[in-house]
Amino acid sequence: MIDSKIPDGPLAEKWNNYKAKAKLVNPANRKKLNIIVVGTGLAGASCAASLAEQGYNIKSFCFQDSARRAHSVAAQGGVNAAKNYKNDGDSTFRMFYDTIKGGDFRSREANVYRLAECSAHLIDQAVAQGVPFAREYAGYLNNRSFGGVQVSRTFYARGQTGQQLLLGAYQGLLRQVSLGKVIMHTRHEMLELVVIDGKAKGIIARNLETGELERHVADAVVLASGGYGKVYYLSTLAMGCNSSAIWRAHKKGAYMAGVSWIQFHPTSLPQHGENQSKLTLMSESLRNDGRIWVPKTAKDDRNPNIIPEEERDYYLERKYPSFGNLAPRDISSRAAKERIDAGHGVGPMKNAIYLDFSDAIKAQGKDKIEAKYSNLFAMYEKITGINAYKEPMLISPSAHFTMGGLWVDYELMTSIPGLFALGEANFADHGANRLGANSLLQACVDGYFIAPYTIPNYLASELNAPKNDISHPAFDEAEKAVRAQLDRFLNSKGTLSTDYFHKKIGRLLYEKCGLSRSKEKLEEALKEIKLIKESFEKDLLLTGDDTLNSELEKAGRIADYIELAELMCYDALQREESCGAHFREEYQTADGEAVRNDADFCYVSAWEWKGKEHKPELHKEPLVFESVELAVRSYK
């Protein structure tokens, strides 16, 4: 039976109650305890720095060449906080409710409330670190609004909020490196979790410069390795983003939850050709001023600027009048796909919709629009060669964020004691759909404010546990398994490259386990994945040696993606309802809206790995709602 460890008491008191009772480790004992943190994005860097400040010894790992490059850096739009600086009716409860509703009532009340509760202090923390958030002329912090809400609670630093927050966390982390409390391992990839007597006690990491396998032992292991949207190949994620750290932990016993809940971002650039490697995101903040439309007539090839107003279909404003162009991401993306599939898509590949700024430029002037979005417009022009001040942007939905991830309890601990998962690597707070500007928030809150209480609470009882070292047989066994897989890849003399397999699995998921799913498509996908898996084992072609070798790195990540894709399909198949980003074609209303089934599916699906030859086992964590009423999620 799954225990989510939600504390007693009324919703607003739960976190305070937890903190009041959490066990502590005295300052003299903290330096005897070692913690491994994998990932240096917002969650990993903030957690590592905060625990180091308390006095623990931290080893921090990232695959990039510097901790500052983790993919949090790419978040553009902003970070939410219930400060109510705009005096427009915001509050902790309002933010909690927006997030629960945005997630289509598939997340835990207690977790989400805590996220909203800690949000305000995050802004304080970031400002103190020197994050240059946007200001009003009087010097106070500015806000804007984002999809799925009716208040302005989003703090931002031009279109580079993620970068600025990450630099704050990264600088905090390097400050601890200079003080000797954090040992940094850049260009290292975790390839195995080491479990001793049922507890997470270390990792096997590969030095990506030399190829050496290293053993690292600790009293607790934190995975803050990000999301796995790159499983779709074409996505808004960085090329190196991967599922390997969490997937290998999953195969060691950690449950995965909400695995098929993948957010498709509505405003990314459309695909233009076969050799494309990535879909660039245009911040959702553009929807504050841009209007989304397609031609009313299907296959209308005219230049958008000469299509008269009455022949344009502003379909979001038409279908969702109260939220309009700021409808939540899942709804906007699905509406776009519906229009594109119905033949109204625009652009050379007919796979896009228009995001039009002409009305905003007319009303506010070009200067105002430039001040808000100049870097985004410049980026758009660099990539497409098109000036978006003069004609509408072409945009389309693309795989972006994984609500799913390692299952964690209220303490952010996985089903393996001593193994914690933070940020996008866990499944916890966003339910079946994440609201814009909540991901930077969750990563930061997990790392700055939650893990620094819950990890010491665990470590307090580990203080007197027997100490292990890297000569333990569990390390031998883990290293042997890693070695065997690397050797198998290095001896792959087939005909097909790693990218071939990545693109193949990605395309399959886009078609059959993407924006919309059905029993039929998912069953087909499961059969096809089996074939891809067999082909990967015998047809892979890999060159290079066991030192610095990017193809070898990719091979391991793709092997994991193929297994993960299978679990995504099992998860989507088992959930016979539509909720948030999970849209099952069999479960919709006559006008195409999602039909949730609270009677049968009001639970978190947590999956247990049962070995290569067996189906995963489902564990259900019931979702209990005490403070909100389950409602049909309407943005009309």
Catalytic residues: 329
H-run or E-run covering 331: helix 329-339
When asked if residue 548 is in the footprint of another protein (CB under 8 A), the reply is: yes
24: contact with another protein by CB under 8 A: no
Give the separation between CA 82 and CA 237, rounded to whole angstroms: 28
| Binders in 433-472 for another protein, by CB under 8 A | 448-449, 452
Nearer to another protein, 49 or 419 (CB): 49
Sheet holding 57-61, edge to edge: 182-185, 57-61, 34-38, 220-223, 419-421
Please say which residue, 524 or 551, places its beta carbon nearer to another protein: 551
Residue with Cβ nearer another protein (4 or 40): 40
Taking the C-alpha atoms of residue 37 and residue 168, their distance in angstroms, rounded to an integer, is: 18
**Residue type at position 482:** V
The interface with another protein within residues 77-106 (CB under 8 A) comprises 83, 85
- Give the integer Cα–Cα distance in Å for 185 and 114: 32
Among 8, 28, 137, 612, binds another protein (CB under 8 A): 137
CB nearer another protein, residue 53 or residue 477 = 53
Residue count, binding to another protein (CB under 8 A): 81
In the chain, the amino acid numbered 486 is L
59 near another protein, rule: CB under 8 A: no
What amino acid is encoded at 370 in this protein?
E
Residues 180-219 that bind another protein (CB under 8 A): 184, 186, 209
Of residues 567 through 626, those in contact with another protein by CB under 8 A are none
Q: Which two tokens stand for residue 566?
A: 């299978």
- Segment near another protein (CB under 8 A), from 47-55, 111-119, 458-466, 579-587? 47-55
**Of the residues 26, 87, 178, 464, which one makes contact with another protein according to CB under 8 A:** 178
Cα→Cα distances 212→68, 209, 215, 247, 340, Å:
23, 8, 10, 21, 49
Piece in contact with another protein (CB under 8 A), picked from 121-129, 244-252, 557-565, 566-574: 121-129
Q: Which of 134, 361, 386, 618 binds another protein (CB under 8 A)?
A: 134
* Residue 44: Cβ within 10 Å count: 32
Of 25, 48, 157, 459, the one binding another protein (CB under 8 A) is 157
**CA atoms lying within 13 Å on the CB side of residue 204:** 26
Taking the complex as a whole, the smallest distance from the CB of residue 541 to another protein amounts, in Å, to 6
Query: Binder to another protein among 84, 111, 152, 164 (CB under 8 A)?
Result: 164
Choice between 327 and 542, CB closer to another protein: 542
Task: Say how far apart CA 141 and CA 291 lie, in whole Å.
Answer: 27
Candidate ranges 92-100, 381-389, 455-463, 473-481; the one touching another protein (CB under 8 A): 381-389
| Nearest CA among 41, 79, 281, 65 for reference residue 167 | 41
Residue 30 engages another protein in binding (rule: CB under 8 A): no
Question: Binding string, 507-546, against another protein, x = CB under 8 A?
Answer: ----------------------------------xxxxx-
Which residues lie below 8 Å from residue 356, measured CB to CB, with a gap of 6+?
Answer: 290, 291, 292, 293, 304, 392, 393
Least Cα distance to 61 among 165, 163, 192, 257 occurs for 192
Residues numbered 232 to 291 that lie near another protein (CB under 8 A) are 238-240, 272-273, 275-278, 280-281
Task: Tell me the closest approach of the beta carbon of residue 298 to another protein, in angstroms.
Answer: 25
CB of 70 to another protein, least distance (A): 8
Question: Are 525 and 513 in contact, with CB atoms under 8 Å apart?
Answer: yes
DSSP string over 458-506: HHTTTTTSPP--TTSHHHHHHHHHHHHHHHHHHT-BSSB-HHHHHHHHH
Site for another protein in 469-508 (CB under 8 A): 495, 497, 499
**Residue of 12, 141, 183, 465 that binds another protein (CB under 8 A):** 141
